[in-house]
C-alpha cells in the first residue's frame, strides 16, 4: 500500500471536477490511468493549521463519556473510525473542529511508540460525539486504554484548490471555481 494523496477526479470530456478525494499513491501511479473518461490530478492543499488540540482518555465505551474517546480498532490500522466526546478532559470544547473536512488530518499522540496521523475521509458531530473516519498516513502502536492522548485536527488552507463543479485547465495546471 502506498501513501494517501489528495486528488481531483476530472471528467476528460468537460474538464469538470467531479470529485475531490483521497487515493492511494500506488493506485494513482498504476491503475488510475486505466479509468476511462477521467483524469486524476494530484494536488497539495497547503500548509496545515491546527483546528484545536485536546486531551482525552482512551477507552472502549461508545458513545464515549466526557473526556474520553474510543476507536473502531485500538491498533493504528490502515483505516479507522474514532469516536471522540466533544468535551476534552479540561472541559474544553474544540470550537474550530466544525471547520474540519475530508482531506484534513487527525493526529493522536500518547507516546512516541503509540501515535498516529490519519487523513480524514469523513468528520461530523452528532449528539455530543465527534465521529472521525480516516486513512492511516503514518503511525505505530495503538490507542492505549486508560491513558491520556493528545488529539488534534489539522486543516489545510490554501487558494486555488479543486472544487466540485469547477474546472481544471490542463495547459496552466490550475483549478477554476465553478460559476454557481
Confidence of residue 4 (pLDDT cuts 50, 70, 90): low
Burial class (CB in 10 A: 0-12, 13-18, 19+), 162: buried
Are the beta carbons of 155 and 104 closer than 8 angstroms? Answer: yes
pTM passes above 0.85: no
Question: What confidence tens digit (pLDDT) does each residue in 120-134 have?
Answer: 989 999 999 999 999
CATH class of the domain comprising 47-157: mainly beta
Q: What is the largest CA-CA distance in the chain?
A: 54
Q: Which of 21-25, 51-55, 166-170 has the lowest mean pLDDT?
A: 21-25
Bridge partners for 123 per DSSP:
132
- List every span in the chain annotated with CATH 2.40.30: 47-157
68-95 as b/e: b if 16+ CB within 10 A: bbbbeebebeeebbbbbbbbbeeeeebe
Residue 31 has a CB neighbour count (10 Å cut-off) of 12
Cα within 13 Å of Cα(14), Cβ side: 11
Task: Determine the average pLDDT of the residues in 144-162.
Answer: 82
Kind and range of the H or E element at 147? none
Per-residue pLDDT at 180 exceeds 80: no
Kind and range of the H or E element at 27? helix 25-30
Which residue would you say has higher pLDDT here, 24 or 151? 151
**Which phi and psi angles does 18 have, rounded to 5°?**
-95, -20
Bridge partners for 79 per DSSP:
135
Cα-Cα-Cα-Cα dihedral sign, residues 142, 145, 104, 180: positive
Amino acid at each position: 500500500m502506498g501513501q494517501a494523496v489528495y486528488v481531483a477526479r476530472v471528467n476528460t470530456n468537460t474538464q469538470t471536477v467531479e470529485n475531490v478525494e483521497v487515493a492511494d499513491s500506488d493506485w494513482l501511479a498504476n491503475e488510475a490511468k486505466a479509468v476511462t473518461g477521467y483524469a486524476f490530478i494530484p494536488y497539495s492543499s497547503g500548509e496545515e493549521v491546527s483546528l484545536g488540540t485536546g486531551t482525552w482518555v482512551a477507552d472502549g465505551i461508545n458513545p464515549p463519556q466526557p473526556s474520553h474517546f474510543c476507536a473502531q480498532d485500538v491498533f493504528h490500522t490502515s483505516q479507522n473510525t474514532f469516536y471522540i466526546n466533544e468535551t476534552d478532559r479540561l472541559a474544553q470544547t474544540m470550537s474550530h473542529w466544525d471547520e474540519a473536512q475530508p482531506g484534513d488530518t487527525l493526529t493522536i499522540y500518547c507516546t512516541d511508540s503509540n501515535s498516529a496521523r490519519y487523513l480524514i475521509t469523513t468528520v461530523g458531530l452528532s449528539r455530543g460525539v465527534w465521529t472521525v473516519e480516516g486513512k492511516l498516513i503514518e503511525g505505530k502502536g495503538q490507542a492505549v486504554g486508560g491513558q491520556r492522548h493528545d488529539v488534534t485536527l489539522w486543516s489545510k488552507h490554501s487558494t486555488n484548490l479543486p472544487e466540485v463543479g469547477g474546472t481544471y485547465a490542463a495547459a496552466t495546471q490550475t483549478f477554476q471555481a465553478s460559476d454557481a
